[in-house]
């Protein structure tokens, strides 16, 4: 079984479609390994809160760096002291392991 630590050290695999999205059982198992991420339809998301705009933007830049390195990009909704991060795999119109790998990496960044 993959743990949060295992997810955070894994690398995303290219996904260009033709692959089935994860089943609900697979999604549930992977969600248990993340810290407070929530599934909504075919996405997983989490709101991160900060003391000020500067910390929020530093986090956004760190998430952008993770997304660039993994070539898997989230939707971000940014305000003064919050950032909502949402992952899905658009090529398969659902969730893939890549979404959970990136979520684990974002959590690890936030905790650091």
CB 21 within 8 A of CB 95: yes
Question: Is the sign of the CA dihedral 66, 78, 107, 34 positive or negative?
Answer: negative
Lookup: tokens for 56: 């929020």
Q: Which of 21, 27, 30 is nearest to 2 (CA)?
A: 30
Q: DSSP letter string over 95-108?
A: --HHHHHHHHHHHH
21: Cβ contacts below 8 Å, ≥ 6 apart: 42, 89, 92, 93, 94, 95, 96
pTM summary value:
0.91
pLDDT of residue 4: 46
* Statement: residue 17 has pLDDT above 90: no
pLDDT tens profile 19-48: 899 999 999 999 999 999 999 999 999 999
Residue 5: band (very low, low, confident or very high) from pLDDT cuts 50, 70, 90: low
- All domains of the chain, ordered by start, with CATH? 21-111 (3.30.1360.20)
């Amino acid at each position: 079984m993959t743990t949060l630590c295992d997810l955070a050290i894994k690398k995303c695999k290219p996904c260009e479609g033709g692959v089935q999205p994860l089943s609900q059982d697979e999604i549930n198992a992977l969600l248990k390994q993340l810290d407070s991420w929530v599934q909504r339809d075919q996405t997983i998301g989490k709101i991160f809160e900060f003391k000020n705009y500067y910390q929020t933007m530093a986090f956004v830049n760190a998430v952008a760096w993770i997304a660039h390195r993994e070539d898997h990009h989230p939707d971000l909704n940014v305000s003064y002291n919050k950032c909502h991060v949402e992952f899905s795999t658009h090529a398969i119109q659902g969730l893939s392991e890549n979404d959970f790998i990136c979520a684990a990496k974002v959590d690890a960044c936030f905790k650091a």
